[in-house]
Amino acid sequence: MSFYKAEYIWIDGTKPTAKLRSKSKVIPTGEKPPVWAFDGSSTNQATGENSDCVLNPVFICPDPIRKDGHKLVLCEVLLTDMSPHPSNTRAACAAVSEKYADFDTWFGIEQEYTYFDGARPLGWPLNGFPAPQGGYYCGVGSDEVFGRPIVEDHLDACMFAGIGIAGINAEVMPAQWEFQIGPLSALDTSDQLWVARWLLYRIGENHHVSATLDPKPVHGDWNGAGAHTNFSTRQMRESYEPCVAAAEALGKRADIHIANYGHRIEERLTGEHETLSYNEYRYGVSDRGASVRIPWQVHRDQKGYIEDRRPNANCDPYTVTRLILETVCGAASQG
Ligand code: ADP
Ligand code: MN
Ligand code: MN
Ligand code: MN
């Protein structure tokens, strides 16, 4: 009899920002990964007296670390009565996705992150700082770019796993990078982004480097890390007026979005470093100082998608995409 290894991955109950957890199960070849369980008292998801939580597989893909037919199994967390655990934000995203299925919404999320070597960003001098930002974005050369072999490993791993990764780039702050997932549905983009995040941490282990989604890893004159969320409905992909209507609708519920776009968002959305202050709202064509940007080619073509620049790198994509669906599709439904 032969077996494969399934790495069960889930999102824990740590507040204010949840962490990823995983453990391995050996499964007979040919059998699907079954429902499993874990000790929720060790993940901020249960008390010791009533500790069992349920792992329900929602996205399964080839394991690019173990290869050879082994699998990664992203799970949602359920209570033992099989209802969603309070920490399970995917269930609400699934319900809203179903409600607005007719809109055929696509999401593309730009995940920024920073590599750390101990307490310092990777490649930064032992004392002091590197040269000020300006030449690092999409840079080349070992004096400007830190961590490329790790980034390449991560890209290869995502492609091997069949994750919908769209691209990568070096970011404005040295040791900061970005990858993009999508365009896919809210649930597919979010599931695959969580698996891509797990791979980011896991591949960092092999290089003895840690990745962080900290939204403001270095204070001062250094860019923070975001998760720009691009999205479109079928109507937006066909004409321009719905793109503007979506940007208008987002402005009407700006407070709810900001409150749910990631912990410490006010440290990143300062009005500096390609952001608008968290307590203001503005949209504009090509405007990287706005809350929401309409890309120039969308304005030229008079159709396409818009970019919500506000979500933090440490946001929960299930919550971000769910809120955008509620706000944009909700407003469009009311006519
Ligand atoms: P930026 O210029 O902001 O850095 P990127 O190229 O990093 O933009 O990311 C743009 C994202 O938008 C990509 O992930 C892409 O898949 C996504 N995208 C493109 N077209 C659409 C669309 N019609 N709907 C939703 N997302 C889209
Ligand atoms: Mn980008
Ligand atoms: Mn970026
Ligand atoms: Mn962007």
The residues of the chain scoring below 50 in pLDDT are none
114: CA distance to ligand 4 center in Å?
16
Residues with CB under 5 A from ligand 3 (ion): 178
Which atom of ligand 1 has the smallest separation from the CA of 183?
Answer: 16
Among 41, 59, 88, the domain boundary falls at 88
Which ligand sits closest to the CA of 108?
1
Q: Which pLDDT score, from 0 to 100, does residue 335 have?
A: 64
Which residue has a Cα nearest atom 1 of ligand 1?
110
> pLDDT tens across 148-189, in order?
999 999 999 999 999 999 999 999 999 999 999 999 999 999
> pLDDT tens across 75-88, in order?
999 999 999 999 99
| Residues 9 and 123 both lie in one domain | no
CA distance 179 to 313: 11
| Residues 231 and 157 both lie in one domain | yes
**Residue numbers of the domain that contains 15:** 3-88
75: β partners: 57
178: CA distance to ligand 2 center in Å?
7
| Residues 23 and 45 both lie in one domain | yes
314: CA distance to ligand 4 center in Å?
15
| Residues 101 and 164 both lie in one domain | yes
With the most atoms of ligand 1 within 8 angstroms of its CB, the residue from 230, 239, 303, 320 to mutate is: 230
Q: Which pLDDT score, from 0 to 100, does residue 209 have?
A: 98
| Residues 132 and 275 both lie in one domain | yes
Q: Which pLDDT score, from 0 to 100, does residue 334 have?
A: 87
Which ligand sits closest to the CA of 176?
3
pTM here is 0.98
Among 59, 88, 117, the domain boundary falls at 88
Which atom of ligand 1 has the smallest separation from the CA of 237?
Answer: 23
CB neighbour class for 67 (10 Å; exposed up to 12, middle 13-18, buried from 19): exposed
CA distance 201 to 212: 8
Which atom of ligand 1 has the smallest separation from the CA of 109?
Answer: 14
- Give the CATH number for residue 323: 3.30.590.10
CB-CB contact of 117 with 123 (8 Å):
yes
Which ligand sits closest to the CA of 246?
1
| Residues 19 and 133 both lie in one domain | no
| Residues 312 and 237 both lie in one domain | yes
Q: Which pLDDT score, from 0 to 100, does residue 50 have?
A: 84
| Residues 264 and 209 both lie in one domain | yes
| Residues 168 and 124 both lie in one domain | yes
269: CA distance to ligand 4 center in Å?
14
- Give the CATH number for residue 25: 3.10.20.70
- 193-196: list long-range contacts, CB under 8 Å, 24+ apart: 193/109, 193/111, 193/317, 194/9, 194/11, 194/20, 194/74, 194/317, 195/9, 195/59, 195/61, 195/72, 195/74, 195/161, 195/163, 196/111, 196/154, 196/158, 196/163, 196/165
| Residues 245 and 181 both lie in one domain | yes
Q: Go through 212-242 and write b for each residue having 16 or more CB atoms within 10 A of its CB, e for each that does not.
A: bbbbbbbeeebbbbbbbbbbbbebbbeeeeb
Q: Which pLDDT score, from 0 to 100, does residue 117 have?
A: 97
Q: Which pLDDT score, from 0 to 100, does residue 140 have?
A: 96
86: CA distance to ligand 1 center in Å?
31
Total structural domains within the chain:
2
CB neighbour class for 335 (10 Å; exposed up to 12, middle 13-18, buried from 19): exposed
Which ligand sits closest to the CA of 224?
3
| Residues 100 and 84 both lie in one domain | no
Among 57, 88, 119, the domain boundary falls at 88
CA distance 180 to 120: 25
| Residues 80 and 131 both lie in one domain | no
131: CA distance to ligand 2 center in Å?
23
